[in-house]
Structure 1
Amino acid sequence: MCVNFLPPAKRQLAEHFRVIEPDEDWPGETWQGYAAPIVVDVGQGPQALLASYGMVPRSRIPAGVRPYTTMNARAETVGEKRAYRGAWRVGQLCLVPMQAFFEPSYESGRPVRWRIGAADGAPFAVAGLWRAWDEPDGTLSYSFTQLTINADAHPVMRRFHAPGDEKRSLVVVPRADYDAWLGCRNPEIARALLQPCADDFLRCEPAPLPRRGARPADDLFGGQGDAG
């Protein structure tokens, strides 16, 4: 599943999502553990937070427990997995703004990274889940995951991932549904909102990996991110 995406620039976040952008800066490309903006609504209207990609940051995994990834949560089991169920049951839903995300295509016989974005080039948002963490200094930090659904029948998203694997897709939230998603506190209604995007919404193109020394240590295509 998606382990790498391009977050919006500050101007794009403010203009497209109508929120005040965080004061802090964030990297131009997001990987596990990187900070990226998310949009939440805790009862005072949409607001942007800077959060760590991965519902359970590695620093929060207890000593002696093998590291696991929580970058993507399956819609079918999000209410059961320990890493996600608490936030899911109380409706801590978020939008994850982005310009594009990346997936591996095996159509050439080997994995090649492809960039997937909106056909019109505009920023968009995918459905996510977030939580807060208490820090030793009394402040809060935040983390998030992205929700995924089956994509075996989607004309674009079924092209990705290894042969024989179930095809999965992030859930693009239509702009008209931003408020409905952010304000939903009923898990079953939230699950019903997780629908495939329109066939003509996405555009994809090859975006080969940089040379090995230029990318993060984590394997780009490693893990489905549904542990916990």
Structure 2
Amino acid sequence: MCTNFTPTRNDRWSRETLGVDVSGLNCPQETYPGYAAPIALLDDQARITCQAARFGLIPHWAQDGQAATQIGRKTYNARTETVAEKPSYRTPWRKRQFAIALLDDFFEPSWETGRAVRWRIRREDGQPMGVASIWDRWTDPGTGEIVTTFSMLTVNADGHPVMGRFHRPGDEKRSVVVLEPVQFGAWLKADIRVASELLNAPGAGVLQASEAPTAGQVGVTRVLF
């Protein structure tokens, strides 16, 4: 799972890998559900574009702002096993509204000390990462504002050398889908069959993790996986 991450501001990387610019986007230093982050997606002419979108997918049928906010707090991650079936996700999945969330790292809780301590996960090569996502647009009936939102896709990560070590003992381990840059175009333009084939846990050696405790989380030992 992923509830908290650092949106990338690496313009050079975004230009080289996707031909888009992340500069000028109004995104916070860290993103949580309901906050903005940069995503790459296809426009109406099938060109790759980039925009700030709200983390936590709001389906087009959400009736008002309160309902939209409540839904978005629960839809920041979509399980690949059920994305084609769940009411909030099945329409953007069927319509192939695929996106790539652009981030430097994300955070997960480690319970190896007996209590939750925040850890940072990033690419081993130090580059930003693109996470497979789906997107939708919702129109606020009160203001008429059109809001783009997204959800990161997750896969089972039981036994994964990095992602298998987070969350509470006994809980299923999950991971976001970290795409390689050579897969970016294929993901955005994929049909359902190709998209399904791309939804895998990160390979061995792709990710590393280290502690990144919040204030008050002290006395833990630094470990690299």
Quick check: TM above 0.5?
Answer: yes
1:149 to 155, 166, 169: 155
The equivalent of 2:175 in structure 1 is 169
The equivalent of 1:205 in structure 2 is 210
* Residue 26 of structure 1, CA deviation: 1.1
Q: How much is the aligned-residue C-alpha RMSD, in angstroms?
A: 2.4
CA distance in 2, matches of 1:20, 1:202: 25
* Residue 15 of structure 1, CA deviation: 4.6
CA contact (8 A) 2:33 2:76 kept: yes
The CA deviation string for residues 179-223 of structure 1, in whole angstroms up to 9 with x for no partner, is 000001x323311210121210101000012359xxxxxxxxxxx
* Residue 90 of structure 1, CA deviation: 0.8
Matching residue's letter, 2:77: N
CA contact (8 A) 1:96 1:126 kept: yes
TM, length-normalised to structure 1:
0.84
The equivalent of 1:226 in structure 2 is none
CA contact (8 A) 2:33 2:73 kept: no
The equivalent of 1:126 in structure 2 is 131
* Residue 66 of structure 1, CA deviation: 8.3
SS of the residue aligned with 1:107?
A: coil
1:62 aligns with 2:67: yes
Change in Cα spacing, 1:41 to 1:166, as seen in structure 2 (3 Å) is same
SS of the residue aligned with 1:99?
A: strand
Change in Cα spacing, 1:109 to 1:148, as seen in structure 2 (3 Å) is same
Q: How does 1:44-55 map to 2 (within 5 A)?
A: 44-55=46-57
CA distance in 1, matches of 2:37, 2:71: 25
The CA deviation string for residues 46-87 of structure 1, in whole angstroms up to 9 with x for no partner, is 110110000028964539x78851110000000111111100
Matching residue's letter, 2:53: A
The equivalent of 1:7 in structure 2 is 7
Q: How does 1:1-228 map to 2 (within 5 A)?
A: 1-9=1-9, 11=11, 12-21=13-22, 23-42=24-43, 43-56=45-58, 60-62=65-67, 68-135=73-140, 140-184=146-190, 186-210=191-215
* Residue 24 of structure 1, CA deviation: 3.6
CA contact (8 A) 1:72 1:147 kept: yes
CA distance in 2, matches of 1:157, 1:135: 37
Change in Cα spacing, 1:27 to 1:68, as seen in structure 2 (3 Å) is closer
Give the length in aligned residue pairs. 210
Change in Cα spacing, 1:15 to 1:27, as seen in structure 2 (3 Å) is farther
CA contact (8 A) 1:7 1:28 kept: yes
CA distance in 2, matches of 1:175, 1:18: 12
Change in Cα spacing, 1:140 to 1:62, as seen in structure 2 (3 Å) is closer
| Aligned-pair identity (%) | 41
- The range that moved more, 152-161 or 127-136, is 127-136
Query: Where in structure 1 are there 5+ consecutive unaligned residues?
Result: 213-228
TM, length-normalised to structure 2:
0.85
Change in Cα spacing, 1:44 to 1:23, as seen in structure 2 (3 Å) is farther
Query: Where in structure 2 are there 5+ consecutive unaligned residues?
Result: 218-225
Higher RCO (Cα < 8 Å, 6 or more apart) = 1
CA contact (8 A) 1:22 1:49 kept: no
